[in-house]
Amino acid sequence: MDDAGREAYDGIPLVHLHDDAKYVAHLMESLYNPGFPIFENLNTDFPVNAWGLMNLATKYQVDSLCKRIANHLEQQWPQTLEAYVQAQLTIRKAYGSQWMLKAPLNPGGVLSERSIYLSFPEPGAAIRLATDFDIPSILPAAFYSLSTSGPARDWESARDIASHSLTTRPARWELLNDDNLLRYYRAKYSLKKKLAQLSNVLRDIFSDRGDNPCTGESPYTIDDNEMTLSPCITIVLKVIETGMRSKAEDTSDALGVVQGADPLMKLFDLTADVDNWELCMRCADAAKKRLLERMHALWNELPEIFNLGRL
């Protein structure tokens, strides 16, 4: 003790902190080392490691560090529809590369799913960090990404899985609190319904066309009291029947627990495939327009679907 009765170390007043020593060390290193590894790009562990650091930075009002953590999380998650689609296409490409390799990445002749997902942000921990520390901008994409999977796809257990099992992305489900789990389950039911409603979007291609009707033939003709559909309508009805209904109306997984509905990317896939449907030019343009409009509308509805306004 020094002359004033205060505990000291080498003559310097000693202050006892009751915080986790690991995160105190992270706090000091992040302040004095701009290249602190926690801020590496494409680090799926960032939200996990950053939570304790963010908690201390908030407690001690290190605003610059709080902002840096928030900015880094925002850089990992898309905040526009275009950026989200591009991220999903990148993941698909990674899946395709793993699938086509047909070579073991681990002993035992199995592909490591983690070798894919270690390169992409993980939604469970990101949602926990964002909701605990008010970083709302990443939540629509993170929640939607989470909704395309199910609790059976646990992050730690999804390590070595045969290539044919690479179907849905894993997540750190244990980090979600009760409120966020409730958002997840309610939204999955809503998204399942929206996927089933996509057939209506395609049917709407032929309504309210005004001076831009189908040019293949009239929408329908009546010959000998029998209705004959135009080629364009026939094609679209076939797309609805073969490409959508079997999945959209499947009730065996009503809440999408095994594999969540993904109406956004279904809309993207339909839009990208329109040119292969052999529609007349006017109907093809109308189809793309309606599908893209619904895609943007759905993206804008995500905050409401996941009840993010009540955070």
Please give, one letter per residue, the 3-state secondary structure of 59-90: HCCCHHHHHHHHHHHHHHCCCCHHHHHHHHHH
User: 3-state DSSP: the chain helix, strand, coil percent, rounded to 5?
Assistant: 60, 5, 35
Q: Are strands 8-9 and 12-13 parallel, antiparallel or unpaired?
A: antiparallel
Cα separation, 309 vs 303, in Å, equals 7
What are the domain boundaries of the chain? Answer: 8-176, 195-305
> Going residue by residue through the chain (311 aa), what tens digit of pLDDT does each one get?
445 566 777 777 777 777 788 888 888 888 887 777 677 777 888 999 899 999 999 998 999 999 999 999 999 999 999 999 999 998 888 766 554 444 444 444 444 555 566 678 899 999 999 999 999 999 999 999 999 988 877 787 665 454 334 556 789 999 999 999 999 999 999 999 998 888 888 888 877 666 666 766 544 444 444 445 578 888 888 888 876 654 444 444 443 444 568 999 999 999 999 999 988 888 889 899 999 999 999 999 999 999 998 76
Residues 6+ apart with CB under 8 A from 76: 42, 46, 121, 126, 138
Predicted local distance difference test score (pLDDT) of residue 239: 86
- In the beta sheet, which residues pair with residue 28? none
What per-residue confidence (pLDDT) applies to 98?
A: 52
pLDDT at 4: 54
**This prediction's pTM:** 0.81
Whether 255 and 282 have beta carbons less than 8 Å apart is answered as: no
Q: 292, 77 in Cβ contact below 8 A?
A: no
Residues 6+ apart with CB under 8 A from 227: 220, 221
> Do 69 and 53 contact (CB within 8 A), yes or no?
yes
Instruction: Say how far apart CA 108 and CA 106 lie, in whole Å.
Output: 6
Beta bridge partners of 12: 9
